[in-house]
């Protein structure tokens, strides 16, 4: 029977990781995969997570099942982190999921259950997994213009023109902050305009927020998601704890469904629990428990927020250094966008030939669409990258 199966396309970023590992050149630089790395190239366990883990080991008395939607304390803590007080708690249904990917998947599953004919409008480009999950699920995908290849900023006029075509029963998929893969983000005024358009068209927003705290800070990064959630009758929010808590492999995420009243919330909550049961039953708990402990213990929370701020500042510092190094070498401002982008990624906006050249001639690895992971750099490698960019003629 399995002879009917065809080879599945390899994940490009994971395939690139393998090529990098096999490269014997000692000076190689990995700007590919989307994990945070410190100046030593290490993805550390955050201090507060480590402390919570120790506490948990000492106090945990059972590994028995939690609820189908996970521990409600995790949902409460994450809803507070992502949405602040912008929406009444009684209007929010939520379920713990295996990572942000699980949250995205469960969100799409809820959409499909509600309206199998829903069209999902996605930013062009978007995180490739959005599209492969949608394809796998058979949901219709519609791109909306997002990245302006000339300015390397948001093509806001194009975006608004395309989103005007989404209507009631459609989904508009937005990145809450730190857009992956471009690093180009909406301003607060632009978020307000998107909200006004959503109110006009009646399309349902779904916000993927995977990098809260990596851009302009925990509160500023939540501006868009809070504005949307408090301004439209319904929305979905998929949150990941992988990056901002550094718990990648623990698979920790939350899907939230915001509705206009508590009667609808009850049905949504039942739906999310039902979908968890169909797909994997109880969600993983270890990472969720650590995150809950960190968020609800004032000392752990303060230490976590401080470390996250150090991470954010270090990425901002690398951005500033790279932009000014490129300004010096090129004698122009055409790389200033690197300092304006936010989050872990920037799209250089060059051809795949140039990306290949950087890899072949300079052992610098980035994703084929010219996405580079800023956190893969350190103060010593920034000048090396800048020189290589100029040398290959980008
Ligand atoms: N959404 C976006 C936009 C992402 O970049 C990522 C991480 N690559 C995720 C969701 C999900 O990450 P995870 O499943 O590791 O939590």
Q: What is the pLDDT of residues 8-62, one digit of tens each?
A: 888 888 888 899 999 999 999 999 988 999 999 999 999 999 999 999 999 999 9
d(CA 35, CA 28): 17
Mutation choice for ligand 1 from 33, 215, 240, 252, CB with most ligand atoms inside 8 A = 240
Cα angle, residue 233 at apex, residues 76 and 292 outer, rounded to 5°: 10
Q: What is the pLDDT of residues 166-178, one digit of tens each?
A: 999 999 999 999 9
Mutation choice for ligand 1 from 17, 174, 180, 210, CB with most ligand atoms inside 8 A = 210
Q: Which residue, among 390, 393, 372, 369, has the nearest Cα to 29 in the 3D structure?
A: 372
Residue nearest to atom 7 of ligand 1 (CA): 210
d(CA 201, CA 199): 6
Structural domains of the chain, with CATH: 10-45+312-392 (3.90.1150.10), 65-296 (3.40.640.10)
Task: Please tell me the distance between residue 210's alpha carbon and the centre of ligand 1 in angstroms.
Answer: 6
Residue nearest to atom 6 of ligand 1 (CA): 210
Residue nearest to atom 12 of ligand 1 (CA): 100
Q: What is the pLDDT of residues 65-86, one digit of tens each?
A: 999 999 999 999 999 999 999 9
Mutation choice for ligand 1 from 11, 16, 36, 129, CB with most ligand atoms inside 8 A = 129
Please give the structure tokens belonging to residue 391.
């040398």
Is it the case that residue 387 has pLDDT exceeding 90?
Answer: yes
Q: Which residue, among 216, 166, 221, has the nearest Cα to 194 in the 3D structure?
A: 166
Ligand 1 atom closest to the Cα of residue 34 is 8
Give the pLDDT of residue 12: 82
Cite the active site residues.
Answer: 127, 208, 210, 243
With a Cβ cut-off of 6 Å, ligand 1 is lined by 34, 99-101, 104, 127, 175, 180, 208, 210, 240, 242, 248, 253
- In contact, 141 and 176? CB cutoff 8 Å: no
Ligand 1 atom closest to the Cα of residue 175 is 3
User: In the 3-class helix/strand/coil scheme, how is 100-154 assigned residue by residue?
Assistant: HHHHHHHHHHHHHHHCCCCEEEEEECCCHHHHHHHHHHCCEEEEEECECCCCCCE
Using the structure block, give the residue that is written with the tokens 């990941």: 240
Helical spans, DSSP H, in the chain: 12-22, 47-59, 72-83, 99-114, 128-137, 156-163, 188-201, 223-231, 262-279, 286-296, 298-330, 337-340, 352-362, 381-392
Q: What is the pLDDT of residues 97-142, one digit of tens each?
A: 999 999 999 999 999 999 999 999 999 999 999 999 999 999 999 9
Task: Please tell me the distance between residue 17's alpha carbon and the centre of ligand 1 in angstroms.
Answer: 17
Q: Which residue, among 253, 193, 185, has the nearest Cα to 222 in the 3D structure?
A: 185
Task: Please tell me the distance between residue 98's alpha carbon and the centre of ligand 1 in angstroms.
Answer: 11
- In contact, 93 and 259? CB cutoff 8 Å: yes
Q: What is the pLDDT of residues 372-386, one digit of tens each?
A: 999 999 999 999 999
Cis amide prior to 385 (ω within 30 degrees): no
Ligand 1 atom closest to the Cα of residue 248 is 15
Report which DSSP code applies to 181: T
Q: Which residue, among 245, 254, 188, 253, has the nearest Cα to 221 in the 3D structure?
A: 188
Give the pLDDT of residue 392: 94
Ligand 1 atom closest to the Cα of residue 101 is 14
Give the pLDDT of residue 14: 84
Task: Please tell me the distance between residue 327's alpha carbon and the centre of ligand 1 in angstroms.
Answer: 32
Give the pLDDT of residue 10: 82
Is it the case that residue 353 has pLDDT exceeding 90?
Answer: yes
The ipTM of this complex is 0.99
Rounded mean pLDDT, 239-262 = 97
DSSP notation for 185-221: ---HHHHHHHHHHHHHH-PEEEEEE--TTSSS-TTGG
Using the structure block, give the residue that is written with the tokens 């945990």: 60
Report the run of H or E that residue 237 belongs to, with start and end. Answer: strand 235-240
Residue nearest to atom 2 of ligand 1 (CA): 210
- In contact, 236 and 206? CB cutoff 8 Å: yes
């Amino acid at each position: 029977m399995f002879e009917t199966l065809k080879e599945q396309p390899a994940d490009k970023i994971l395939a690139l990781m393998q090529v990098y590992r096999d490269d014997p050149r000692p000076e190689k630089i990995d700007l590919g995969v989307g994990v945070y790395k410190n100046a030593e190239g290490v993805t550390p366990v955050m201090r507060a997570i480590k402390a919570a883990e120790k506490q948990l080991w000492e106090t945990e008395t059972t590994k028995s099942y939690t609820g189908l939607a996970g521990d409600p304390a995790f949902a409460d803590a994450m809803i507070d982190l992502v949405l602040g007080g912008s929406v009444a708690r009684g209007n929010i249904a939520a379920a713990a999921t295996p990572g942000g990917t699980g949250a995205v998947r469960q969100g799409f599953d809820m959409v499909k259950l509600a309206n199998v004919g829903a069209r999902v409008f996605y930013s062009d480009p978007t995180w490739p997994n959005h599209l492969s999950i949608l394809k796998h699920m058979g949901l219709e995908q519609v791109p909306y213009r997002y990245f302006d290849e000339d300015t390397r900023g948001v093509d806001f006029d194009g975006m608004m023109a395309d989103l005007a075509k989404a209507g009631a029963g459609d989904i508009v998929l937005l990145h809450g902050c730190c857009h992956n893969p471009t690093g180009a983000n909406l301003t607060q005024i632009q978020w307000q305009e998107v909200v006004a358009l959503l109110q006009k068209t009646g399309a349902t927003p779904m916000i993927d927020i995977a990098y809260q705290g990596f851009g302009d800070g925990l509160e500023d990064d939540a501006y868009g998601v809070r504005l949307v959630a408090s301004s439209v009758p319904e929305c979905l929010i998929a949150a990941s704890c992988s990056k901002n808590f550094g718990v990648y492999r623990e698979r920790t995420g939350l899907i939230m469904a915001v509705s206009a009243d508590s009667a609808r919330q009850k049905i949504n909550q039942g739906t999310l629990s039902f979908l968890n049961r169909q797909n994997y039953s109880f969600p993983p708990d270890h990472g969720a428990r650590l995150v809950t402990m960190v968020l609800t213990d004032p000392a752990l929370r303060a230490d976590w927020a401080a470390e996250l701020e150090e991470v954010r500042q270090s990425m901002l510092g690398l951005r500033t250094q790279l932009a000014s190094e490129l300004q010096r070498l090129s004698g122009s401002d055409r790389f200033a966008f690197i300092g304006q982008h936010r989050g872990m990624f920037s799209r250089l906006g060059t051809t795949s030939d140039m990306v290949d050249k950087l890899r072949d001639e300079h052992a610098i690895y980035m994703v084929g669409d010219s996405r580079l992971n800023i956190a893969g750099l350190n103060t010593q490698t920034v000048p090396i990258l800048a020189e290589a960019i100029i040398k290959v003629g980008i």
